[in-house]
Amino acid sequence: MLSDRTIKKLLDKGHLKVEAPDSGVWPWQIQPVSIDLRLGAVSLKNGTPVPATISDKVRWVIEPGQFRLGSTLERIEVCENLVGMVVGKSTIAREGLMVEAAGLVDPGFGGQITLELCNLSDEPIQLDYMQPICQMTLDWTDTTPERVYNSTDNHYQGQMGPTPSWRTRL
C-alpha cells in the first residue's frame, strides 16, 4: 500500500490524477495511506442522477433499506501499473451507510467512481454534496497488465456521474 509521500509524488508526476470542479486534491484529502474522495451526485433511482453543481447546497436523504447509486465528485485517472481500492469512510459506516465501490480501480481507468449506497440503519441518513464519502488506497502491480483498462473496450471507462450496470443498457 502506498504512503502519503508516494501518493503526492504520483500526483506531482501525473501518474495519478484526481480532479474536481473546485480543485485538484486538497491537502486535507491526502491521508497516511489513502485519498479521501467526496460525494458528487446521487441517483433518484438506478441511473437517473440528481444533477449537482459546485454552487449547489444539495442534500439527499437515503431512507432505511434504500439503495442508491452515487458518484465521487473527483474524476480519477490511474497509470497502467497502478491499482486503486475504494472503501467507504468509517464515519459514514458508523451511521449505518454501506458504501460499496465495487472496490477495484483497474490500471488505466479514468472517470468518476460509481458508489453503491445502502442504508442499513433504521433511521434516514442525510448525505451532502461534496462531503467525504470514501477513500482510495493505491498499490503497484508487479508488472504492467496485458489488458490495461483504457486500452480495451470496457463498459465504465470515462464514466461521469452515477453509472448504472451495463446490463441495464442491453
Catalytic residue numbers, as ranges: 116
Q: Write the CB contacts of 118 (distance below 8 Å, at least 6 apart in sequence).
A: 62, 65, 66, 67, 68, 97, 98, 100
Asked whether 51 and 113 are in contact (CB, 8 A), the reply is no
Helix runs in 56-140, H state only: 90-93
